[in-house]
Copies of this chain bind each other. A is one copy, B any other.
Amino acid sequence: MSERFALQCPMPAGTEGLIELAHGAGGLLTQRLIDEVFRPAFGTATDFTHDGAVLEITGRRLAFTTDSYVVQPLFFPGGDIGSLAVNGTVNDLAMCGAEPQYLSAGFILEEGLPLDDLRRVVRSMQLAAAAAGVRLVTGDTKVVERGKGDGLFINTAGIGRLLPGLEPAPQQVRAGDAVLLSGDVGRHGIAVMSMREGLNFESAIESDSAPLAATVQRLAAAGIPLHCLRDPTRGGLATALAEIAAAGRVDLRLYEQRIAVSEPVRGACEVLGLDPLYVANEGRLVAFVPADAAEQALEILGSGPGGEYAAIIGRVERGEGRAVLESDLGASRVLDLLSGDQLPRIC
């Protein structure tokens, strides 16, 4: 379970200079693509790694974010590409410390997509938007020829009002902070992967896809200083923690036994040869708060999605930017960014 298999990714011969699946995995190659292609053109102010950008318009501060969704299959246990496209962007805004308000939706349809599938996805988006309290206000539809797409891709962009006094970021993380996780991990990736591979596990595994904005608003309303928030999607919990440690220039000390992984997810990961800490989640968050606010924050997380498994999973220490996981047996390993792409097209 704790082998670093995900870090092995020899580049196939002849693919140098070409886009690979791993460039979209949210790990090391995504990071390189951003550093080598996007940053030189768009500047370091452009947010490609984080959940969104904070910007000023007519004197007010807003959060603005975008995500494209290419998950395959379109429908999976616990959700579909429509609810995912709403919850994912709602969560990115929430992680910026914003109250999500408005979404756009851009559809790229492949010729031959059944209209009934589109209706089902659109209906799912409607329900997810209502549940998250956001409004879909503008949209666009394009169609590509058969064989030039894959059924349906959706982009959603979102705008939200920044909650007063909040601007969570890795740079705000301080030694002594507690690291909280809002629920068990690995459900989304395994739910999608099981469906795609036609695997039948004894217990059905449902995606954790859910909106996290209400939870963040409750944390903020309680006056808890939210130093950093992150939803561990592509690349999983391990990649999120490794990124925050590096960007915040702090060390994280994390305890594996406090990170909940359900038995069905653990079993499926063993069958599939995956590390649940690198598997995508779509309804979980990591919060960094001062130690003296940790218990109150934990109580609030307990009432959110997956809250029965919410936990304080570690603490922040002075250091050089490493996330260190102590295993149940007392061994410790440094968490790295996901390398390669263990689960392509998971969101």
Chain A, interface size category, equals: 35 or more
Decide yes or no: A140 and B108 within 8 Å by CB, A41-B123, A102-B57 being known contacts: no
Is A136 in the interface zone, CB < 8 Å from B? Answer: yes
Is A167 in the interface zone, CB < 8 Å from B? Answer: no
- CA–CA, A150 to B41, complex, Å? 23
Q: A55-91: contact bitstring with B at CB < 8 Å (1 yes, 0 no)?
A: 1011110101111111010000000000000000000
Q: How many copies of this chain does the complex contain?
A: 2
Closest to A148 in B: B150
Is A19 in the interface zone, CB < 8 Å from B? Answer: yes
List residues of chain B with CB within 8 A of the CB of A24: 109, 141-144
Decide yes or no: A38 and B102 within 8 Å by CB, A68-B155, A111-B21, A145-B344 being known contacts: no
Is A268 in the interface zone, CB < 8 Å from B? Answer: no
Is A332 in the interface zone, CB < 8 Å from B? Answer: no
Decide yes or no: A19 and B53 within 8 Å by CB, A46-B137, A66-B104 being known contacts: no
Tell me if B137 and A19 are in contact (CB < 8 A).
no
Is A33 in the interface zone, CB < 8 Å from B? Answer: yes
List residues of chain B with CB within 8 A of the CB of A345: 142, 144-145
Tell me if A122 and B38 are in contact (CB < 8 A).
yes
List residues of chain B with CB within 8 A of the CB of A139: 38, 42, 46-48, 66
Selecting from A112-120, A184-192, A254-262, A313-321, the interface stretch reads A112-120
Tell me if A136 and B46 are in contact (CB < 8 A).
yes
List residues of chain B with CB within 8 A of the CB of A33: 141
- CA–CA, A153 to B19, complex, Å? 14
A-B contact pairs, 11 of them (CB 8 A): A15-B112, A18-B113, A18-B115, A19-B112, A30-B141, A38-B139, A66-B106, A66-B139, A143-B341, A143-B344, A155-B157
Q: Known pairs A19-B110, A66-B138, A142-B347; list 15 more (Cβ under 8 Å).
A: A18-B111, A19-B111, A19-B143, A24-B109, A41-B126, A48-B139, A53-B104, A53-B137, A53-B138, A55-B135, A55-B159, A57-B161, A66-B106, A68-B106, A149-B150
- Chain A positions near chain B (C-beta within 8 angstroms): 15, 17-25, 30, 33-34, 37-38, 41-42, 45-48, 52-53, 55, 57-60, 62, 64-70, 72, 101-102, 104-116, 118-119, 122-123, 125-126, 135-145, 147-150, 153, 155, 157, 159, 161, 341, 344-345, 347
